[in-house]
Amino acid sequence: DNVAEIDSRTDLGLGLGYYVIKNEATSLSFEAGPGFAWAVQGGVIRDFSIVRLAARCDHQLPKRSKLCKSLVFSPKADDFSDYLIAAEAGIDTLLSSDWALRTSVRYQYDSTPSGGRQSDDAALLMGLSYALGGFPDPDEEGRPTLHSNADATEAIQLGWSTSAALGLSVSR
């Protein structure tokens, strides 16, 4: 992020989340957990403990798309006045049984930018997703969705869910 003079930042952490809403069309979840961050900002290397608080909402649109919104607040564990906020809103579109395209807008706010730099920044992002097991087969109406491959006869329940994720983002 050249605007905030962030050369790189890596966050690693554990999170515990809870679904407040989870049905065929909409999901809303909140999560929290401890973490650790490594950042190179203005030529200075910093590493510190963080707290990660996040909210995510997805809404399935008719046909092959869904709306996605997220908000993440990650302050230093020992100084909540030193934080990073990232808000993102976008749309995922199914391209095939294995590939999806995500287009989104991300807004970031850094409470402690390098001297003389802006605190906030916005970016337009596009990315491809590949589902190792493939996205679900088309339903009886013949339209693929971005929902998980869970058995449709299984009751959708609120509350706890198990998941794992791995992501990589590179920008220059």
Q: pLDDT at position 20, please?
A: 93
User: What pLDDT shows up at residue 73?
Assistant: 95
- Strands 65-76 and 6-13, bridge-based pairing: unpaired
The whole-angstrom separation of Cα 1 and Cα 8 is 8
Give the pLDDT band of residue 153 (cuts 50, 70, 90): very low
Q: How far apart are CA 88 and CA 56, in angstroms?
A: 9
d(CA 166, CA 9): 16
What is the structure's pLDDT at 88?
96
Q: SS3 of 1, please?
A: coil
pLDDT tens for 77-128 read 999 998 999 999 999 998 888 888 999 999 999 888 777 778 888 889 998 8
Cβ atoms 46, 113 nearer than 8 A: no
Does pTM surpass 0.85?
Answer: no
* Whole-angstrom distance, CA of residue 76 vs CA of residue 143: 44
